[in-house]
Chain A
Amino acid sequence: AQSVTQLDSQVPVFEEAPVELRCNYSSSVSVYLFWYVQYPNQGLQLLLKYLSGSTLVESINGFEAEFNKSQTSFHLRKPSVHISDTAEYFCAVTGGGSYIPTFGRGTSLIVHP
């Protein structure tokens, strides 16, 4: 069975600073990778996904993630964060015979002014 590890439960950062949220998964077989964001009192929203092709994927609001097969990682980065990026971020993986995503425990990104 797949497992997903988000190494940091909470990441505090100042506005306009860069940030990296880490995600590692267990299986080395063909996988699909997702990052979701959850704002307070809302459900999760898809931020970006890796299905195939270029290992660097980008979202419309400046986030990017790089698929690293050898390190089984899919870290999320943003070069300059805004207060509005404060939210919970979840990494998820499907594949390896399963189409039900396995979610990480989430990372709370807290952006301070």
Chain B
Amino acid sequence: KAGVTQTPRYLIKTRGQQVTLSCSPISGHRSVSWYQQTPGQGLQFLFEYFSETQRNKGNFPGRFSGRQFSNSRSEMNVSTLELGDSALYLCASSRGRGDSPLHFGNGTRLTVT
């Protein structure tokens, strides 16, 4: 069974630009969550999509947005990049229940200069 795939692995962008990250979940998983990981703040929840609908949202500004397609693949977009957006962005898929563990991809390392 293929794992969660995130592309690209690395990105370097300039402040003010926008970026789109992609995530392909495990087959059969309808829930996709996105996390931001930084050394100072740890793992922070961005949002969760389930069957193409945003079901939960973390405490991030509107510059962070996402969507999920009918095949459960998900994209995350960050507009007007700031230096503080430099982080490892992790995508995780699951069956979307409380007892369902998350399956993480290896992340996209975003560097904003």
Contact = CB atoms under 8 A, between A and B. Distances in A.
B59 to A, nearest CB: 11
Nearest to A44: B104
A100 B48 contact: yes
A45 B104 CA distance: 7
Given A103-B43, A106-B42, A46 B102 contact: yes
Interface residues of B, number: 22
A72 B56 CA distance: 26
Interface stretch (B13-21, B72-80, B90-98): B90-98
Contact of B33 (A90, A100, A106): A100
Nearest to A48: B101
Interface residues of A, number: 23
Contact of A99 (B4, B6, B42, B96): B96
Nearest to B4: A43
Contact of A43 (B42, B45, B90, B96): B90
Interface in B89-113: 90, 92, 96-107
A100 B45 contact: yes
A104 to B, nearest CB: 8
Interface in A58-104: 90, 92, 94-95, 98-101, 103-104
Interface of B: 4, 6, 33, 42-43, 45, 48, 56, 90, 92, 96-107
Interface of A: 32, 34, 36, 41-46, 49, 51, 90, 92, 94-95, 98-101, 103-106
Q: Which A-B residue pairs are the 8 nearest by beta carbons?
A: A43-B104, A99-B98, A94-B98, A105-B42, A44-B104, A46-B101, A103-B43, A43-B106
